[in-house]
Amino acid sequence: MFLPQFPPERLRGIARTADEAGLDELWLWEDCFWESGVATAAAALAWTARLRVGIGLLPVPLRNVALTAMEVATLGRLFPGRVQVGVGHGVQEWMGQVGARAGSPLTLLREHLTALRALLRGERVSTGGRYVTLADVELVWPPHEAVPVLAGAVGQRTVRLAGEHADGVILTGGTPPERVREVRGIVGAGRIVVYVDGLSGDAATVADGIGRWVEAGADTVVLQPAADEPDPEAFVRFVATEVRPRL
């Protein structure tokens, strides 16, 4: 995880370290009012050769779905097979600060997901929902390869929505393995990405800790460093070269 608390200028070194060390994926956030998820993803992808990049997540109240589709499709065309994106409610306090707080976040997320995935499939979309309105919209440059679209979820209704309308779910740091097991029962074959913070110790200890979430049903475990981590590049190398081979 590249935390938004890290200055943007640190991204190049961390992304290249992850790529060269053989890490599978690097994940980014779009928290208000830190850094853009799309801009950082584009830069990380351009600076690396094989690393997959996930944006987890983009807050849908901030974004017109057509703009989100255009940005994601462009990344998908430029870097096929290396992009995945998550969308979610956003922190309601932040959404209120920018005048974008939705009366029904669940309805907004469902409408956004439905339209976004249809647009990325290259469909021509017309819809008039409570929040999402499109009139005969079709991407000129849809991605050649499918870009996975996940949904961030905490509550039970949002998890169920993710299982029905997304390719999978992103679970926040602090989610215990027991909760992952419950979510697997809801989303079925959908992908589960879980952020894990607080794992410490030597490589064997960290790998054993990751195994608890994998055994519970997680497909991807994203290790989240401390916001005051003095050497994120060293953390990336440790995960890639010492922890990953033990999994």
Q: How many domains does the chain have?
A: 1
So what's the pLDDT on residue 198?
87
Classify residue 2: in a domain, yes or no: no
Residue pair 26/18 in contact (Cβ under 8 Å)? The answer is yes
Question: What is the residue-level pLDDT of the chain in tens, covering all 247 positions?
Answer: 999 999 999 999 999 999 999 999 999 999 999 999 999 999 999 999 999 999 999 999 999 999 999 999 999 999 999 999 999 999 999 999 999 999 999 999 999 999 999 999 999 999 999 999 999 999 999 999 999 999 999 999 999 999 999 999 999 999 999 999 999 999 999 999 999 998 989 999 999 999 999 999 999 999 999 999 999 999 999 999 999 999 9
Classify residue 134: in a domain, yes or no: yes
What is the Cα–Cα distance from 168 to 48, expressed in whole angstroms?
Answer: 25
So what's the pLDDT on residue 34?
95
Classify residue 110: in a domain, yes or no: yes
CATH value at residue 189: 3.20.20.30
So what's the pLDDT on residue 74?
98
Classify residue 85: in a domain, yes or no: yes
Classify residue 146: in a domain, yes or no: yes
Q: In this structure, what are the phi and psi dihedrals at residue 25, rounded to the nearest 5 degrees? A: -140, 150
Strands 168-171 and 149-152, how do they pair?
parallel
Residue pair 224/175 in contact (Cβ under 8 Å)? The answer is no
Give the domain range for residue 167.
8-246
Classify residue 3: in a domain, yes or no: no
Looking at the chain, list the stretches that DSSP marks H as alpha helix, in order from N- to C-terminal side: 11-21, 37-47, 65-78, 92-97, 105-120, 156-165, 177-187, 203-216, 232-238
So what's the pLDDT on residue 155?
95
Q: Which two tokens stand for residue 231?
A: 């050497």
Classify residue 160: in a domain, yes or no: yes
Provide the β-strand partners of residue 196.
223
CA count, 13 A, side-chain hemisphere, 128:
1
What is the Cα–Cα distance from 44 to 111, expressed in whole angstroms?
Answer: 29
Classify residue 1: in a domain, yes or no: no
